[in-house]
Amino acid sequence: MGLFSRFRGGRPGRLRRADGADEEHLRSWAAAREGVEAFVEPRTTVTETTMVLVAKDGEWTRRRVSGPDGARKLARSLKIPVYDVQLVGYPQRMRDHDARQKVLRERQRRRDLGA
């Protein structure tokens, strides 16, 4: 076993591909929220193509998909808009949501320390 092989999930040289669980998560997540939009992220050396779903309040989730065409097909079946994140970037509401969550986590950490 190589020094860093445990960080590759035991599959050296292979990326984990999208599966049915990834698609089911995206479908159920989108069904449970309002104003969902899809943002397709390109494949990298570490990760296959991914899709980020962002709700109108900025909450988001990310899962692997079977390529850009698969992402567009999934978005069409969900009847939600789909964007290429390299062209449009991420929506501001997503960054605002993350900032709010960070503040809430810090407040909770301080409460936990004071208790």
pLDDT computed for residue 93 by the predictor: 97
Give the burial class of 66: count Cβ atoms within 10 A of its Cβ; 0-12 exposed, 13-18 middle, 19 or more buried.
middle
From CA 34, how far away is CA 80, in angstroms rounded? 10
From CA 53, how far away is CA 78, in angstroms rounded? 11
pLDDT computed for residue 75 by the predictor: 97
pLDDT computed for residue 11 by the predictor: 53
> Mean pLDDT by 10-residue block, N- to C-terminus, for the chain (115 residues)?
50 67 96 98 92 97 95 96 97 96 93 83
pLDDT computed for residue 106 by the predictor: 94
Q: What pTM, to 2 d.p., does this model score?
A: 0.81
Query: Cα(first)–Cα(last) distance of the chain, in Å?
Result: 45
pLDDT computed for residue 17 by the predictor: 74
pLDDT computed for residue 115 by the predictor: 66
Q: Is the dihedral of CA 35, 52, 27, 77 positive or negative?
A: positive
